[in-house]
Structure 1
Amino acid sequence: MELVDVKFNDDGDIIDTLTGKVLKDTPEERVRQRFINILQSDYGYPRTIIAREVPVQQGSKVLSSDDGAEIRADIVVYTSKKACLERDQGNILFVVECKKPNATEGYAQLVSYIFNTSAVGGVWTNGTGISVYKKKTGNEVGLEEILSLPRYREKWSGTDSIPNKSELPRPHNVRFLLSACHNKLYGRGMENEDFDLAMDMVRILLAKIQDETTPGEFPRFWITESDFQTAEGRKHAATEIQTLFREYADQFPDVFDPHEKIQVGDDCIAEAVGVLKNWSLAARNDDADDWDLMGETYEQFTHINLKRQQGQFFTNRLVVDMMVKMLDPEIGEHTLDPAGGSGGFATGIFRYLRRKVLSRTAANSPIRDRQLNIIKDSVYLVEIASRLVKIAKCAMLLTGDGQSGMTRGNSLDLYSRLDPWIVSRCAKGKSNAPAVIATNPPFSGQKVESQISDKSILKNYDFGHSFKKTDEGNFVFSGDDSDILQHQAPELLFIERCIDWLKPGGRMGIVLPKGILDNVSYEAYREWILDKCELSGVVTLHKDTFQPDTGVRTCILFLRKPDEEKMPREDYNIFMAMSQRIGQDSKGNSVFVLDGNGNNTGVLNHDLNEIADAYIDFVSGNEHQKSEYIFTIKKSDIKDHININPQHYSPKLNAALDSVLAFDNKENWATTTVGQLEAGIKIYIGPRWNSASIKVDNPTDTSTLIPYLTANAALELRRFTIKWLDANRADQKQKSCIGKLKIQEGDILISRSGTIGKVTYATKDLAENYIVSDDLVRIRVKDANLRAYLLAYFTSSTALSLMLLDEYGSVQQHLQPRHIQEMLIPVPDDWSLAKNMIDSGNMFMKAMENMSIADKKIRTQGFDVLMEENNK
C-alpha cells in the first residue's frame, strides 16, 4: 500500500497532483496537496472531478475580497467529470477550505462558498484535523456538522443503516486518521494534558479493535448521523464504546484498573467514533506492508504525544530495525524485551518474523497459518509502567496481534514475581527461555534519584555489590550483604539480568550509554560481561540518535551467551562500527539523501542498513564490507582498561598513531609524549564553577565588569560573544575561580568537550582582558620554538586523530589534560629539521595577534564608534 505525499521538482517547487503544474511551496499548498491525495486514496473521489483554486461566483459575478482579489475555493469536488471541466458552479458537490497546519480560521469562508454554489456541504482541514458540514434540511438556513466525510457516491443526506464489519475498508493515510481523532478530543476544550488525551486515544482504539475481533456481523463501534445530533444518541454510543473497552480491559487485569474507563465525555467519544467508525483497523496477517504502515504510524503518533513523560524516551525506529535485523530472530524462537516501553522492539520483531513467514510460505496454506500463530505466541515484553503496557498492547494489535505477550512487571525483581504468562512461557532456565533479547533499558545518567536503591533488588545482583581488584589484576564482586551498594544505575542491572535470563546459546542486543565502553569506572563491569558472554559486536550511535529527547551518547552491545556448561572462547573476532548518519538532525527533523543536483530524494540519510548488512555477513562468515567506520578486531586486541569503544580501534585513527610511532625508526627523529617535551610544561584546565549568580545580561556600562568567554567564544577570531560578570557580587569560591581561569599570553588552548580538538592561541589581548572557560585545555611552554612547533602539531589532522582516540563520555565527548600529556609527538634531534613547522606556528601566532589588534581597533575606533559620536 503506497501513501502518496506531496511531489516536488528539482527546484523544490510543488508539482500539482491534479494537473502536473509547478506551484510555489507553501504550508497551505502542502496541506491542500495532501488532502487532494486523501480524497482520492481514502474516500475514492476520482481525480477527474477534483479542482483546486476555483473562483467562486455570486450569480454571474466572481466574488472578490476587499482588496479586489478573486475569492477562490481551495478545493472543489464536482458531481461529474464534465462539470469539473466546465467549472460548472451549479454542479458542485462540496468544497474544501485548507489552512496551514496551525491555522484555525476559515469557517466563514467555507459558509460563503457553500451558500454561493450548489454545494451540499463543505470540509475544513489544516492537514491534521477535519470538520465536515452540510446544509441544513428543510427551510432552515445554516450548516450542521456531521460525523464524517461521505465517500464517493455515498449520500450526504446520511443513513442510519450499519454496514457489515467485513465491508469496512482499510485507511491509507493512517497518520491523518489518528491526528483527526486526537484533534476531536483536544478540540473539545479538555483540560487534560496531551498524554491523558493520548491514553484515551489508546482506550478508544482498543475498544474499536475489540469490536472488530469479536463475533458479530455488524459493528457495535458505531454511531449514526441521527444519534450524533442528539445528546441521548451520543450518550448511547459512548456507553457502548465504554462497554467495548471494558470487555477488552477485563482480559488483562494486571494492566488495566478494574474501574478504568475512557476519561473524556460522551460528546468527545461520539466524535472520535465518527472519525474511526468507517475504517477497519484490526489485524490481517497476509498484508505485511499494510500492517507495517499501520503499526509504525501508531507508534510515531503515541511517541509524539507521550515523549519525555517521566524521563522516558523512545528508541529511534531505524535503530530498532537495525538491531532486529542483526539479531535475526527465527520462527519459533522466543524473544523478549525486559524494558519494553511502548513496544518498539516487540512490534519490530513481530514485523520481522511475519515477513519471514510470508516470504517462505504459500498464501492460504496451513503452514503459513500455523507459523503466523507461532510468532504471535513468541514475542514477549515486560514493562513496569502500566500506561506504556497499554500503548504496547495497542501497538501490537495494530501491527498484527501478538499482544498477549505484552505484560506488566518489574524485570529487575525476582523472576517468580513476574506475570504468570511470562513465568510459564518465557522463563529463565527452561527450554522456552528467550533465545533473543532486544532492549533499551532506562538510563540513570548522573541522577541518583533515577538509580535503583531497593536493597531487596540490589542483593540479587553481582552489580548490586561493591567490587575489589585482586593481586592478579582481576575484579571480584562481593556477594556479602554488607557490601550491597547504596544505589546502582538501572542499565547495569539490566545487563546482568538480560545475560542471566537469556537462553544458553542465545543472543542479545542492548542499547547503553556510550560511557560504558571506555570509562575506567566501568572496567570491572566490562570484565564481568566478557567473562560471561562473547562480545559479538559493538555499534556506537550518532549523537543525534535520540534527539531532541536526550543528548546522551549511546551504543549497542551485541552479546552471545555460551552454550550450556561452556565458557566463552579465549579469542574470537568482534564486529565494530561507528554510525555517522542517523537520518535526522538535533531537532529531530528528517535529513534526506540528496541527488547529484542537491535535490531531496525522499530517502532518509542514514548508515544503519549498511552496518546491519555488514554484521550479517560477519556472522555468516562471509567477507563483509569494511571501511574506516566498519571493521573487526580480535578479543585479544582489547587493551587499555578493557576499552571496547570502536573509536579506540579505528583503523584511520590508529593509522595516525602508527605514523607517529614510525618516527622512532627514522634517523634523527624520535617519538615522545607531549608531557615530556619540556621540564615544567604545564597542561591543565581551570576549575568547574557556576557563574549564573554574577552574570549581568545586556549591561550598558561594562567598565566595572569582567568579560568571560565560553570555549566557543574564545575560539572566535573576533570577540562577538562575551558574557559579563560582576565580581562585586561573587562569593569567595567564585572569586577564587575567576583568578584560576585567567590565562597567559602564549598559552595554546584546545577544546576538550563537544567538538574536541579545536585549537587557538592566547594573544596579549585575550590574556590581559578576559577569563576563559575550563572547557579549554591550557598548554603552557617556555621555549618559543617549542611553542610554535606544538601549535603547528596540534592543528594537524594527525593530532586530531590522536585526540579522538582518547575521547570518552556518555553525554558529551571529553578529553582530560592527561590525554594531552600522554599524546605521542615526533621530535627531531636538531630543531632545524622542524624549521618549516616552527615557521608556520610562528606565522599562525603572528596572524592571531594581528587579528586581535585589528578587532580591538575596529571595536574602539570603527564605524560604530563614528556613528555614536555623530549622533551625540
Structure 2
Amino acid sequence: MAAEEIIIEDNQLVCVLTDKPKKATSQEKNIQSIILMLNEEYGFEMKNIARDVNIVFVDPDTGKNKKQKIEVVVYKEDSEQNQEDIIRIAAVQDEKIKENDKKKGVTIALENALAALDNCDFGLWTNGNDLKYLQKEDDDFGFDFNFTDISDFPGNGETIEDIDRADRSHSRKPANDSLIKVFKRSHDYIYGNEGRKKDAFWQLLYLIFCKLYDEKRRFKCIETGESYRKKFWVGIKEKNTEEGRRAVAKRIKDIFEDLKKEGTFSDVFDGNEAIALTDKGIAFIASELAKYSFLDATVDVKGLAYETIVSNTLKQEAGQFFTPRNIVRAMVEMLNPNEKTRVLDPACGSGGFLVMVLEHVRKQIAKELYPDLEDVLLAEKFNTYEVNERVRQYAETNIYGFDFDPDLKKAARMNMVMAGDGHANIFHINSLDYPDWEDPNELNKIKASIKQSLERMADIDNNYTDDARGKFDMIFTNPPFGAKVKVEKEIADKYYLSKHSDAPEVLFIEACYNLLKPGGKMAIVLPDGILGNPNTLPVREWVLENFKILASVDLAVEAFLPQVGVQASLLFLQKKTDNDKNIARETDEDYDVFMAIAEKLGKDRRGNPIYLRDEDGAEILFTVDTKYVTTNKNNDKEVKIRREKQKMLDDDLPKIVNAYFKFLKGEKI
C-alpha cells in the first residue's frame, strides 16, 4: 500500500473504475456502489465496465439520431467495446429521483436505452434506495419489445435460466454496501406499503431468519447425508403474478413454521410469532434477500446491515446506544479471547461485543484448520461446516450476554444467530440485581447454562457452584451511564461502591469484578469523570486495590457522537487474585501501564468519515490491491485483484492496538 500524490477536495472521491476525482454527489456514490457490485457480485471484469457512455439511436418521431448517456455499461468480454457489444446497462440516478420520474425514471432512462441496444437484454435502474431489474423481450409480433420486471439479472457467464432455478448453485456474496441497502429497502417497503409501522423491524427479521435457517440447513444435510435443496428462493418473474406471489408466500411461511420448532432457532422465538405481510410484500422482500448468501457475508457487512435497521427501530433510551464498531474491535483485539475463553457482556444491547468476539475466534479456528491459506482464500473458509461447527460449540459453551431490555435481548439473540448460532446464552436480566433477579425462570436458565459450560470446559476449579459469579475469563462491556439512568436504592445498596456513588457505571465495575474469575480480564467503556473527578477518588482507590490496570485509552469526544456527547475512556483491567492482593499489601506495587490517547476515530462530530491528510491538509490517496473471490455458475472460485486508489480513515485505534502488543512484548513503541 503506497501513498499517491493525487490532490482531491474534501467533497470529492476517486472513481474506482477510472481513478479520476469526482464530486461526491449522491448519484456519484451510487455509481461507485453499482460498479463494485457488478465487479465483485456479478463477476464482470473492470476492463469490461465503462461509465458515462453515450449510446446513439434513431428517434422514431423525427428519424434523426439522438444520444442518451448511460451511467454504467458492461461490454462483452474480448470485444471492441462498441455500442453493439454492450450486454448490461445500469441507469444510476440521484437519491431524489423517483422511478416514475418523467425524465430520469425507469421508462425513459432504462427502457428507452434497452430498446436502442441490439444485443443487450438486461438492465437495472437505481437511485441508491430503489433497485429495479428489467429484461427486454420481443413482443408476440416481433415488431416491438416488452419489458419485464425481474428480481435479478445474470452475472458474467450466466444465462437467465441459470439464475431462475430453485437449485441455483450459489447465491451472491454481498459486496460493499449491498446488504445494508437490501435491508433498508425491505424495511422501508414494509413500513410504507404494508401498513405495519409498529412491527416492520420484526417482520423483516422473520424473513431474514427464514433465509438464514434455509442456508444453515445445508449443514444439517451434511450431518444426515441428505442432498440439500433450497426452499428460500424466488423465481426470476415469480413476484409478478398473484399465483407466483402466493407460491412464494407459502414457501416462506412453511420455512418460518419449521424454524420455530428447530433447536437453533426455537428459543429465539416465543412460538406465537407470525409472518403477517401480504403475499406481495413477502414476494418482494424474499426476492431481495434471495440474491445473497448471508452465511458467506462478512461479520462487518452483516453487523452493519443489522445495526442499521436496529438503530432506527429500537429506542435509544436509558443510556442505550451502539458502541462504534472500531471501538468494539479494538477492545476485543487488545484482550485477544480464544476458543477457551468464557466471555460475558453484562449490558449486551444488540450483541455487538459478543458478535465481534465470535468473529475473532472464528478467524483463529479457520487459521488452525487451514494453516496454508491466507487473506481472501482463508476468509472463504470461515463458513465451512468444520469451522461453523467449532464456532457454534464455542458460542454455545462460552459466550454470554445479559440485558435489562427484553427487546434488546431478542435483538441480540437474532444478531448472534446471524453471526454463528451463539444465541443460547443471552438472558433478560438486570446484571446489577444478579443473582436476586425477580424472574426465577431466567435465573434457573443461567444456572443450567453455567453448569453445562463448566462441565464442557472441565472447569474444575470453579465447579463448586453454578452461580455465574466468578466464572468469566473476560468481560467486554459498555454499561449504561448518564444522569438519566437511575439505579434503585435497594439494588445499589448491595454494592460497596454505592457508599461513594450510585451511578450505574460505578456499580457495574463492582458487578463485573464479582462476575470475573480471579485473574480474569475486562475491557469497559467508562465516562472520564470516574477516572478524573476528585469526588470519585475512593472509586479509583477501590479499583487499584482490586484490579491490576492493564491499559487505559482516552477517546476523542467524537467517539459516541452523534448519538450522545460524552467524554469516555477504555479501561482494561485484570482481577487480582488473593495472592496478588497480599503481595500488594506487603510491597509497593510497581508495574507498567499502557496508556494511549485516540485523538482521531475516523469520524467527525456528525458521524461523517474523516480521512488521513498530508501536511497541507489534503486527503491522502493510497494505492490498494483489493482481493476478492468470484464464483461462477459451476461453483468454481477464483481469486481476483482490483487495483484502486482509496482514502484511509483517520483512526488511531488500529495503531493503538499494534502499540499495545509491542508493549506486551517489551518492544519499543
TM-score, structure 1 normalization: 0.60
Q: 1:430 aligns with which of 462, 472, 497?
A: 462
Partner of 1:728: none
Where does residue 100 of structure 1 map in the other structure? 94
* Secondary structure of the corresponding residue to residue 433 of structure 2: coil
- Describe the shift of the 1:420–1:154 C-alpha distance in structure 2 as closer, same or farther (beyond 3 A): farther
Within 5 A, what are the aligned runs for 1:764-803? none
Per the alignment, residue 57 of structure 1 pairs with 56
Please list the CA deviations of residues 136-176 of structure 1 after superposition, one character each: whole Å capped at 9, or x if unmatched.
Answer: 66439653322122223434478753115xx2144141521
- Separation in 2 of the partners of 1:63 and 1:608? 63
Q: 1:446 aligns with which of 470, 483, 493?
A: 483
Residue 415 and residue 616 in structure 1: after superposition, are their counterparts in 2 closer, same or farther (change >3 A)?
Answer: farther
Give the alignment of 1:397-416 within 5 angstroms: 397-415=417-435
Aligned residue for 2:413? 393
Select the residue among 240, 243, 246 that pairs with 1:232. Answer: 243
Aligned partner of 2:597 in structure 1 is 578
Q: Which stretch has the larger CA shift, 506-515 or 590-599?
A: 590-599
Q: Is the 8 Å Cα contact of residues 122 and 136 (structure 2) preserved in structure 1? A: yes
CA deviations 1:245-302 (Å, max 9, x no partner) are: 344444456643332234543322211211221332226xxxxxx6344344435534
One-letter code aligned to 1:210: Y
SS of 1:204's equivalent in the other structure is helix
| Structure 2 Cα separation of the partners of residues 342 and 327 of structure 1 | 21
Q: Distance in 2 between matches of 1:145 and 1:589?
A: 36
Match of 1:452, as an amino acid? Answer: V
1:397-426 CA distances to partner (integer Å, 9 max, x unpaired)? Answer: 443443333343332333374465543344
Structure 1 position 147 matched with structure 2 position 165: no
Tell me which of 598, 609, 632 is aligned to 1:590: 609
Which of residues 494, 505, 508 is equivalent to 1:491?
505
1:223 matched to 2:234: yes
Q: Which runs of 5+ in 2 are unaligned?
A: 222-226, 372-380, 455-460, 464-469, 622-646
Letter in 2 for 1:616: F
1:501-528 CA-to-partner distances (Å, cap 9, x unmatched) read 1111101111122211122343333333
Query: What's the CA shift for 1:234?
Result: 1.6
CA distance in 1, matches of 2:601, 2:525: 15
How much does 1:533 deviate? Answer: 2.4
Q: Is the 8 A contact 1:341 1:383 kept in 2?
A: yes
Given candidates 175, 178, 185, the residue that maps to 1:176 is: 178
Q: Residue deviations 1:616-654, cap 9 Å, x none?
A: 34445x1553xxxxxxxxxxxxxxxxxxxxxxxxxxxxx
Residues 1:300 and 1:39: Cα distance change in structure 2 (over 3 Å): same
The one-letter code matched in structure 1 to 2:428 is R
Secondary structure of the corresponding residue to residue 45 of structure 1: coil
Q: Tell whether the 8 Å contact from 1:158 to 1:225 is kept in structure 2 after alignment.
A: no
Secondary structure at 1:74 match in 2:
strand
Picking from 336, 350, 354, the partner of 1:328 is 336
Is residue 561 from structure 1 mapped to residue 598 from structure 2 by the alignment? no
Letter paired with 1:131: K
From the superposition, tell whether residues 49 and 291 of structure 1 become closer, same or farther in structure 2 (CA, over 3 Å).
closer
Conserved in 2, the CA contact under 8 Å of 1:415 and 1:423?
no
Residue pair 2:553, 2:597 contacting (<8 A) in 1 also: yes
* Aligned-partner residue type, residue 213 of structure 1: K
Query: For residues 420 and 297 of structure 1, what CA distance do their matches in structure 2 show?
Result: 33
The one-letter code sitting in structure 2 at the alignment partner of 1:179 is: K
1:64 and 1:356 map into 2 onto residues whose CA distance is: 66
**What's the offset of the Cα at 1:9?**
4.6
Asked whether the 8 Å contact 2:75–2:88 carries over to 1, the reply is yes
Rounded to whole Å, the distance in 1 between the matches of 2:136 and 2:306 is 38
Question: Alignment partner of 2:518: what SS?
Answer: coil
Q: How many residue pairs were aligned? A: 582
Residues of 1 paired with 2:148 and 2:480: CA distance? 49
Q: What are the equivalent positions in structure 2 for 1:669-684 lying under 5 Å apart? A: none
Q: Quick one: distance in 2 between partners of 1:303 and 1:454?
A: 32
The answer for the alignment partner of 2:642 in structure 1 is: none
* CA–CA distance in structure 2, aligned partners of residues 174 and 386 of structure 1: 32
- Alignment-mate amino acid for residue 82 of structure 2: E
1:470-485 matches, cutoff 5 A: none
Unaligned runs of 5+ in 1: 284-289, 468-484, 626-872
Q: Distance in 1 between matches of 2:351 and 2:154?
A: 35
Q: Is the 8 A contact 2:214 2:230 kept in 1?
A: yes
Shift of 1:345: 0.8
Question: What's the secondary structure of 1:592's corresponding residue?
Answer: coil
Q: Mark the CA change 1:263 to 1:367 in structure 2 (over 3 Å): closer, same or farther.
A: closer
Determine the C-alpha separation between the residues in 2 that align with 1:366 and 1:198.
Answer: 30
Matched residue SS, 1:256: coil
Q: Which has the higher contact order (CA 8 A, sep 6+)?
A: 2
Task: Decide whether the 8 Å contact of 1:180 with 1:275 is kept in 2.
Answer: yes
Identity %, equivalent residues: 27
Aligned to 1:613: 658
User: Which residue does 1:535 correspond to in 2?
Assistant: 549
Contact map agreement 1:340 1:381 (CA 8 A) in 2: yes
3-state SS of 1:332 partner: coil
Cα 1:577–1:74 change in 2 (3 A) is: closer
Residues 386 and 134 from structure 1, CA distance in 2 versus in 1: closer, same or farther, beyond 3 angstroms?
A: farther
Which position in structure 1 is the counterpart of 2:112? Answer: 112
CA contact (8 A) 1:202 1:390 kept: no
Cα distance per residue 1:362-387 (max 9 Å; x no partner): 45999978865653332222223343
State the distance in 1 between where 2:210 and 2:601 align: 36
Contact 2:136 2:148 in 1 (8 A): yes
Asked whether the equivalents of residues 182 and 201 of structure 1 are also in contact (C-alpha less than 8 Å), the reply is no
Secondary structure of the 2:476 match is strand
User: What SS does structure 1 have at the residue aligned with 2:581?
Assistant: coil
| Counterpart residue number, 1:712 | none
Shift of 1:218: 1.0
Residue of structure 2 in register with 1:319 after alignment? 327
The answer for the alignment partner of 1:349 in structure 2 is 357
Task: Name the counterpart of 1:41.
Answer: 40
Question: 2:466 — aligned with what?
Answer: none
Partner residue of 1:122?
123
Mapped partners of 2:255, 2:538: distance in 1: 53
Contact 2:135/2:150 (8 A) holds in 1:
yes
- Is the radius of gyration larger for structure 1 or structure 2? 1
Distance 2:389 2:86 in 1: 52
Q: What is the CA distance between 1:500 and its match in structure 2?
A: 0.4
Alpha-carbon contact 1:282-1:397 (below 8 Å) kept: no
Comparing 432-441 with 600-609, which one deviates more in the overlay? Answer: 600-609
Distance 2:66 2:83 in 1: 19
Aligned counterparts of 1:15 and 1:171: Cα–Cα separation in 2: 24
Indicate conservation of the 8 Å contact 2:392/2:420, yes or no: no
Aligned amino acid, residue 71 of structure 2:
D
- Corresponding position: 1:87 with 2:83: yes
Q: Distance in 1 between matches of 2:63 and 2:53?
A: 12
**Closer, same or farther in 2 for the Cα pair 1:314/1:533, shift >3 Å?**
same
1:131 maps to 132
Of 629, 648, 663 in structure 2, the residue corresponding to residue 603 of structure 1 is 648
Amino acid at match of 1:186: D
Q: Secondary structure at the match of 1:534?
A: strand
Tell me the distance in 2 between the aligned counterparts of 1:388 and 1:61.
59
Distance 2:387 2:70 in 1: 51
Q: What is the SS of the residue equivalent to 1:381?
A: strand
Structure 2 CA distance, aligned partners of 1:195 and 1:323?
Answer: 35
- Taking the aligned partners of 2:177 and 2:258, their CA distance within structure 1 comes to 27
The alpha-carbon deviation at position 23 of structure 1 amounts to 5.5
Q: Is the 8 A contact 1:425 1:433 kept in 2?
A: no
